[in-house]
Amino acid sequence: MTSFNGPWSSDLEAFKKSVQSMPDQYKSSFAAASKSTLEKVCAPDVLHIWETDSDIDSLLQLTSVIAKLCDLGVRKSKGANESDGSMLIIAEESRSRNNFGRICQLVEYLTGADGKKHLEGTVAVFSKIVIVRGWDNSILSGQQEALEKTVKRVNTAVEQVLKMGGLKKIVWHHGAVLHFLLQWINMTTSPLRSALSAITITGSLNLADGIAPSIPGRANKLPDLERLEQFAKKLDIPVVFLDAPSQLLNFEYLGTYVYYYAYYINTFLPASLSRPHLHKAQDELVTFAFRLRAASEGRYGSDAVKMVQKHLDAGKAKHWARMCVSKENYEKSKCRAAGKDEAIHHAVQLADSPFALLAHGAGVPAFARLAVGPASASAQDHYTAAPVNIAFTKSQIRPTSPATFHILIPQSSQDLEKVTSRVQGLMMAVLERVRQEKGSPVLGDTEKGMWNAVVKACEWAIGGCDESKMPKGVAKKVGFVKGKLREGTWGFALNPPKDVGKTVANNVAAVAAMPEPNRTYGFGQNTQQTRGSQPTYNGAEQQQMQMPQQGYGGGMPQGPMPSPVQGAAYAQQVPGQMPTQGMYTGGQGQGHVQGHGQGHTQGQDYGGGHFPGGQSAVLPSHRGFEHGGRGGYPQSMGGPW
């Protein structure tokens, strides 16, 4: 392959433009590097290792892989089957929740296999799917003995799964924090280290707004990234950075990507896994409503809690009411902030689909992994694994070959609408697989009783707010929250109209009769809504999500597959390709290339050259990885700032 170094870019859009303007003699090398890397990270005949937490987006991503490996929905017999594929899941340790236990529940529910515990309960085996207790990513130094034990049990599990599946190679899909991966590579056995064929890193970088670490990625220091690159070079393997925004997975709520999310999440997950998310959402929703009321009446702290206690049925709320009965959550500033657009927007989502991520504000980072792994056979049709050089200290990136680092981005033919529709179609296909085995959701009196208590309390709190004391327009927006309590997806699922049937449980007709989704709210943040009869805030026309018909392109063959759901009304195309400044330098940086009307520049590698027209190639960045800008990587080991 021809070697080259492209111009440095300080953001993803500039990088894409430079790729579009790449001289023809380098395009084949760029395409070959992408193709080879995608083949490795999506290879079906290797062991895929997934380091993960157990939030809903992560559980759904794992479900997509398990559905493929176990042929859910189209297999002849349920439970463990000899033909099932192999995977290893490393459950991140956490002080806030039992990720290991939650993932074990998911695998048991989906596969129907009996799990067996090993190594003092730190490893669970469900046929060829193995879950291992991993590392607490908040611990970045010390605890050497515990670290060695964790590496040893991961080694034991990997060796066993390789043997069971008759596999030779490993693709390791890691999360945002690099510490444990680096320790494992350094401490593992030589045969396992040599078995690595590729690595993906999810959510470590935020490439959409610039070249900067994400919030969880700030735990990584510059030497960690340099060490990762050194390891990968020695092993001659690619490292692919995945992040949701750079893949145009821009929406924060799963209702955008999962058809009738609040209803079908109860098919995707057993009640033991979905209930914590329902409880959290109900708690947040009641808190929002009473913050509004508290601000309206000027009653804060303990006085606000007394209102909650008086109007929220304690018998129905005792298992989940935490945030809403804490006086610290009713400080004056917090109550007044409930009238801001982002708070109302979040409350509308909760009222429509009250199954909140345990880590609110994180978007759906695990969905960046839907493009890789053994269930993603069509990745090359939609994505590019761009070979890059990343200058972390300068917050810059450029196309380069040969390369160790790669970034996964949609091809130029893709836009927000196409990406969103494809993910919707993929999740519909996975849902159909699971639904064929588990049936439609069964919702009972417990769920209905809790929700009725929430609705009654929130309607009292919101309905009694003094509009004259609210900022202009807030009362109208808050009205959408109130409307969703009864007419949103969850309210409809629990209390369908009488002519639909006596109960939603096991009644497919009830789902067909659900209100169609409406996608725009009008304060700049767009996701799925339901109830087509309601207007949007900005008066936009309703867009209805249509039921699937046939086939889809998500890379999970066998069995009937629904098509991608129709595109969203909020679709916005990636800005059109424009001529780039700058140029490519091949080989040793010799040559003569024109830079689109900017004159000729003698072949200089852009590490130290200039943009045509005299612009410096090394641009200063307020996000500086070196200078401790927003989320930057420092040179020292002293911390992320």
Q: What tokens appear for 153 in the block? A: 């049990």
Helix (H) or strand (E) holding 576: none
- The domain 42-251+365-377 having CATH identifier 2.60.40: the answer here is no
The domain ranges of the chain are 42-251+365-377, 255-360+441-512
pLDDT at 613 over 50: no
Confidence category of residue 262, pLDDT binned at 50, 70, 90 = very high
pLDDT of 538 higher than 80: no
In DSSP terms, which residues pair with 200 in a beta bridge? 173, 240
**What average pLDDT does range 251-262 have in this prediction?**
93
| Model confidence band, residue 547 (pLDDT cutoffs 50, 70, 90) | very low
User: Which residues have CB under 8 Å from 228's CB, separation 6+?
Assistant: 178, 181, 182, 199, 201, 239
pLDDT value of residue 326: 96
Peptide bond between residue 441 and the one before it cis (omega within 30 degrees of 0): no
**Torsional sign, CA 422, 428, 430, 433:** negative
User: b/e string for 360-396 if b means 16 or more Cβ within 10 A?
Assistant: eebbbbbbbbbbbbbbbbbbbebbbbbbbbbbbbbbb
Q: Judge contact between 568 and 544, C-beta under 8 A.
A: no
pLDDT grade, residue 581 (50/70/90)?
very low
pLDDT score of 1: 66
**Amino acid at residue number 46:** V
Q: What's the CA gap between 589 and 603, in Å, rounded? A: 5
Binned at pLDDT 50, 70 and 90, residue 209 comes out as: confident
Q: What is the pLDDT of residue 248?
A: 95
Is the model more confident about 536 or about 430? 430
Confidence bin at 511 (pLDDT 50/70/90): low
* Residue 417 CB neighbours (<10 A): 17
Rg (CA), the chain: 26
What is the pLDDT averaged over residues 188-193? 97
- pLDDT at residue 617 tops 50: no
What mean pLDDT comes out for the span 54-68? Answer: 97
Percent of all residues in the chain with a pLDDT value above 90, rounded to a whole number: 70
Res. 555 pLDDT band, cuts 50 70 90: very low
Report the chain's terminal Cα–Cα distance, integer Å: 39
Residue 620 has pLDDT above 60, yes or no: no
* Whole-number pLDDT of residue 498: 65
pLDDT for 116 beyond 90: yes
Q: Which of 160-169, 463-472, 558-567 has the lowest mean pLDDT?
A: 558-567
Report how far residue 243's alpha carbon sits from residue 515's, in angstroms, rounded to the nearest whole number. Answer: 33
Task: Give pLDDT, residue 210.
Answer: 83
What value does the mean pLDDT take over residues 381-407? 95
Better-scored residue on pLDDT, 320 or 569: 320
How far is it, in rounded angstroms, from Cα 76 to Cα 432?
16
Q: 321-353 pLDDT, tens per residue?
A: 999 999 999 999 999 999 999 999 999 999 999
Q: pTM above the 0.95 mark?
A: no
Closest CA to 369 of 37, 5, 51: 51
Using one digit for the tens of pLDDT, what is the confidence trace for 366-393?
Answer: 999 999 999 986 889 999 999 999 999 9
Average pLDDT estimate for 558-575: 27
Residue 118, pLDDT > 50, answer: yes
- Hey, what are 101's tokens? 């236990």
168-172, 294-298, 619-623: least confident range:
619-623
Look at residue 545 and tell me whether its pLDDT is greater than 50. Answer: no
Q: Give the model confidence (pLDDT) of 214-232 as tens digits.
A: 999 999 999 999 999 999 9
Say what the pLDDT of residue 495 is: 84
Least confident stretch, 38-47, 141-150, 624-633 = 624-633
Calculate the CA 116 to chain-centre distance.
30
Nearest to 198 by CA among 374, 364, 28, 66: 374
Summarised one tens digit per residue, pLDDT across range 231-250 is: 999 999 999 999 999 999 99
- Report how far apart, in Å, the C-alpha atoms of 515 and of each of 11, 495, 533, 567, 568 are: 40, 13, 8, 17, 16
| Residue 600: strand pairing partners | 594
Alpha carbons 586 and 592: distance in angstroms, whole number: 10
| CA gap 131, 100 in Å, rounded | 7
- Band of residue 361 on the pLDDT scale cut at 50, 70, 90: low
Q: Which residues pair with 387 in a beta bridge?
A: 406
Per-residue pLDDT, 143: 92
Residue 265 has pLDDT above 60, yes or no: yes
The pLDDT, as a whole number, for residue 184 is: 98
Query: Quick one: pLDDT band at residue 303, thresholds 50, 70, 90?
Result: very high
Q: Average pLDDT, stretch 524-532?
A: 35
Per-residue pLDDT at 510: 56
Mean pLDDT of the 150-162 span: 97
pLDDT of residue 535: 27
Is the pLDDT at 519 greater than 50, yes or no?
A: no
Pairing of strands 129-136, 123-126: antiparallel
Q: Which residues are within 8 A (CB) of 125 and not within 5 positions of it... i.e. 6 or more apart?
A: 115, 116, 117, 118, 160
- Please report the pLDDT score of residue 454 as a whole number: 97
Give dist(CA 278, CA 636) in Å, integer.
Answer: 43
Residue-averaged pLDDT of the chain: 81
Helix (H) or strand (E) holding 35: helix 24-41
Phi first, then psi, for residue 612 (nearest 5°) are -55, 140
The alpha carbon of 208 is separated from its chain's Cα centroid by a whole number of angstroms, namely: 14
d(CA 18, CA 20): 5
Q: What percent of the chain has pLDDT over 70?
A: 77
